[in-house]
Amino acid sequence: MLMSRRPRILLADDDELLLKALTLRLEKLNVEVFTASDGYTSLARATELKPDLLILDVNMPAGDGFSVQERLSNHPVLRDIPVIYLTGDQSERLNTLCEQMGGFALFHKPFRLPQLIESINQALRPRAA
């Protein structure tokens, strides 16, 4: 029998204030939020938790968001998890890289929270059924 559970989001960013603020806001969406502050921990937590969505900072210590997604893409269970990227880097090349990596969306900091939440809802929609 399949157990119904709240969607799980793994949020990874090296900015502790952003992690806390986003966690508080996302928990209001009736999801479970787990956090990591670097690429290495993100990989370990994703493998352990098998989240429904990854929100990854592009520039983190111990492995950036793109390298985390690249490593997870080789894992049979984790390769199809949608990824939303966050970045403080304003360069256009990141938009192209996000598309090439198969990222669901890319948000440049400072981002607008309503747009991020809409993207999260869209990313979770097909997996919530």
13, 1, 70, 6: which is closest to 32 by C-alpha?
6
* pLDDT computed for residue 124 by the predictor: 93
Query: In what order do the strands lie in the sheet containing 105-108?
Result: 32-36, 8-12, 53-57, 83-87, 105-108
Q: Are 63 and 43 in contact (CB under 8 A)?
A: yes
Domain ranges of the chain: 20-128
pLDDT of residue 55: 96
pLDDT value for 128: 44
Q: What's the pLDDT score for residue 91?
A: 83
pLDDT at 5: 81
CA distance 28 to 26: 5
Give the pLDDT of residue 129.
44
Question: What does CATH list as the number for 20-128?
Answer: 3.40.50.2300
- ∠ Cα 49 55 57 (to 5°): 120
Tell me the C-alpha distance between 35 and 20, whole Å: 9
* Torsions phi, psi for 123 (to 5 deg): -65, -35
**Average pLDDT per 10 consecutive residues for the chain, totaling 129 residues:** 76 94 94 94 94 92 81 87 90 85 91 95 73
pLDDT for position 126 = 59
